[in-house]
Amino acid sequence: MSKSQHGTAFSTKLGTVITAIITAVCTAVKDFSIADIIESFDNQGEKLTQHLRLVLTAMITKKNLVLEDIQVQATKLLEVISSINVTAVTKFVARDHFKVGNSDGVKFSYIGENFQKKFLPKIEENIAAAIIRVYKLLVGLLDPEIMTALGPNRQISLAHLWEMLKLQPNGEVGALLTDGNWNIFYIPDIDGNLWAVYVRWYGAGWIVRAYSVDYPSRWDAGYRVFGC
């Protein structure tokens, strides 16, 4: 290939890449007014990052580029089951609520060591009211994959997890699975680091555990995950 041909090929590829990046940006911020675009980069930054990652991966692997909206991808991984309104909370002291036995009507049979260390010392204040969305895992996924599918509203407060447990204090049927399968929440610990906090009804009470989101184990299809 001559130098001029090489330059033409490079220019064509560069033009394709630039077009793809522009498409990614437009896809990530579509339906926003001009006044909202700057703010959208904060709210949609993860989606934009995902699109740009697809662009770079296509360049490296020399495969065809397919830009698919992250929310469309998410529908293949998560199924919306329901939603629950939870109230605002002025102050929530974790240690006063999460304890083995009967805690204000909620029965707990086990509190895991990680949860005790990372969450029992936590005090949450001025937690706003929210809508908790309930999803069913359609395929087995790692925590980072689930969090990506949930998007920027993946984070739940301990206070709101407690509210959901209060709705099913004795393992009644509800948004939380009570058939021995796990319910997964992504909650920041006392240091602000996000953990996978998961609960299930077993025997005579709720089991509460926490694992690092980097733990290399997949959650099974059929489990439930929660986001705002």
Tokens of 165: 């447990």
Across 74-78, 114-118, 216-220, which has the greatest mean pLDDT?
A: 114-118
Q: For residue 203, what pLDDT is reported?
A: 83
When pLDDT is cut at 50, 70 and 90, the band that residue 29 belongs to is very low
Q: Which residues pair with 219 in a beta bridge?
A: 141
From residue 152, alpha-carbon distances to 168, 193, 224, 226 in Å are: 27, 15, 18, 12
Pairwise CA distance, residues 137 & 220, whole Å = 7
Helix H or strand E encompassing 148: helix 143-150
For 129-164, write each residue's pLDDT tens digit: 999 999 999 999 999 999 999 998 899 999 999 999
What is the percent of the chain where pLDDT is above 70?
67
Give 15's pLDDT tier (boundaries 50, 70, 90). low
User: 158 CB contacts (<8 Å, ≥6 apart)?
Assistant: 92, 94, 98, 119, 122, 124, 187, 197
pLDDT at 112: 97
- pTM of the model as a whole: 0.68
Q: Could you give the CA distance from residue 43 to residue 2 in angstroms, rounded to a whole number?
A: 46
Residue 223 reports pLDDT greater than 50: yes
Mean pLDDT, rounded, for 102-108: 96
Report the distance separating Cα 175 and Cα 154, nearest Å: 17
Residues 6+ apart with CB under 8 A from 182: 198, 199, 200, 219, 223, 224
Q: With the C-alpha atoms ordered 161, 166, 169, 173, is the resulting torsion angle positive or negative? A: negative
Rg (C-alpha) for the chain, rounded Å, is 22
Report the 3 state secondary structure along 5-73: HHHHHHHHHHHHHHHHHHHHHHHHHCCCCHHHHHHHHHHCHHHHHHHHHHHHHHHHHCCCCCCCCHHHH
pLDDT at 6 over 70: no
